[in-house]
Amino acid sequence: MEIRKYWLPSLIFGMGLALSIFSCQHEPITIEGDNNPVDTTGNNPIDTTGNNPTDTTTTGIPCDPNVVYFELDVLPILRSNCAKSGCHDENSAQDGVILTSFESVMATGKIEPFDLNDSEIYEVIVETDPDKRMPQPPNAPLTSAQINLVASWILQGAKNESCDPAAEGCNTDNVSYSADIRPVIENNCLGCHQGANPTGGFVLETYADVVAKVNSGRFYGAVAWEPGFVPMPFGASAPLPQCNLNKIKAWIEAGAPNN
């Protein structure tokens, strides 16, 4: 009875396992020794949901702290500081430069992989002459941390590598405003929500600015793309990484402390 019920799934699973072991000889991702391939949960051993711990094809690739990732690190800076209406979004395309996606950045951003001196985007963000600097005054220049991210990305070959920020778990204990929340706002929001004439009509420059928006009840719904809110970051094709959202939520639930 038991055997009759399971022989077919077992056979298919066995073949899949054999195949994956062979193919893994050439793959950088290997099956960890502690991942027991025998499913003891009683679930179908052929798991297509991605929840099966032995399924290495859908397991997230942890982010390498030494790699600068385009979507995670560079695009948010370009989107909020450069791809604004009137500047380098699809409609405005000043000087033919569109900085809204990897494809448009590579096609129009005059980037020479591995070479800062030949990458115009780098030259204009470090330019000291205010007539030539980007973002143009009265917009603030990029911070040195942001310039370093763009520079490292170019020096690493201006690639579009991806990783899973939650692959190694997402720790939402004791979320800190200065260490966890502030950097997300700086890289994803501040380019628009700062200065004398901020996009959206308000700034997120100081802790007090952010808390005022949290207390208005409009902050989390906007970043979580909840119905009834304008999704933020404005113009993004996807919300912030889930781990960032979890941290923002935990921080708000803890009373949005200035820690």
Binding positions for ligand HEC, rule: CB under 6 A? 79-80, 84, 188-189, 191-193, 199-200, 213, 218-219, 222-223, 229-230, 232-235, 240
Closest CA to 74 of 118, 120, 105: 105
| Closer by beta carbon to ligand HEC, 54 or else 101 | 101
Nearer to ligand HEC, 154 or 189 (CB): 189
**Shortest reach from residue 32's CB to ligand HEC, in Å:** 35
- For residues 221 and 214, what is the distance between their CA atoms, to the nearest angstrom? 10
| Residue with smaller CB distance to ligand HEC, 163 or 212 | 212
Shortest gap between Cβ of 222 and ligand HEC (angstroms)? Answer: 4
The two three-digit tokens of residue 190, written as one number: 């501040």
Q: How far apart are CA 133 and CA 139, in angstroms?
A: 10
Nearer Cβ to ligand HEC (46/179): 179
In the complex, what is the shortest distance from the CB of residue 19 to ligand HEC, in angstroms, rounded to a whole number? 42
- Quote the least distance from Cβ 172 to ligand HEC, whole Å: 17
* Shortest Cβ 116–ligand HEC spacing (Å): 25
Whole-number Å distance between alpha carbons of 206 and 174: 21
CA distances from 210 to 56, 196, 219 (A): 40, 16, 8
Nearest to 106 by CA among 95, 97, 116, 114: 97
- 141 vs 191 by CB, closer to ligand HEC: 191
Closer to ligand HEC by Cβ: residue 193 or 247 = 193
Distance separating alpha carbons of residues 212 and 206, to the nearest angstrom:
10
To which residue do tokens 């020096």 refer? 155
Answer whether 229's CB lies under 8 Å from 172's CB.
no
- Smallest distance from ligand HEC to CB 41, Å: 38
249-254, Cβ contacts within 8 angstroms, sequence gap of 24 or more: 249/172, 249/220, 249/224, 250/172, 250/173, 250/175, 251/175, 251/177, 251/180, 251/181, 252/214, 252/219, 252/220, 254/175
Please calculate the CA angle 24-28-30 and round it to the nearest 5 degrees.
Answer: 50
CB of 84 to ligand HEC, least distance (A): 5
Q: Which is nearer to ligand HEC, 68 or 190 (CB)?
A: 190
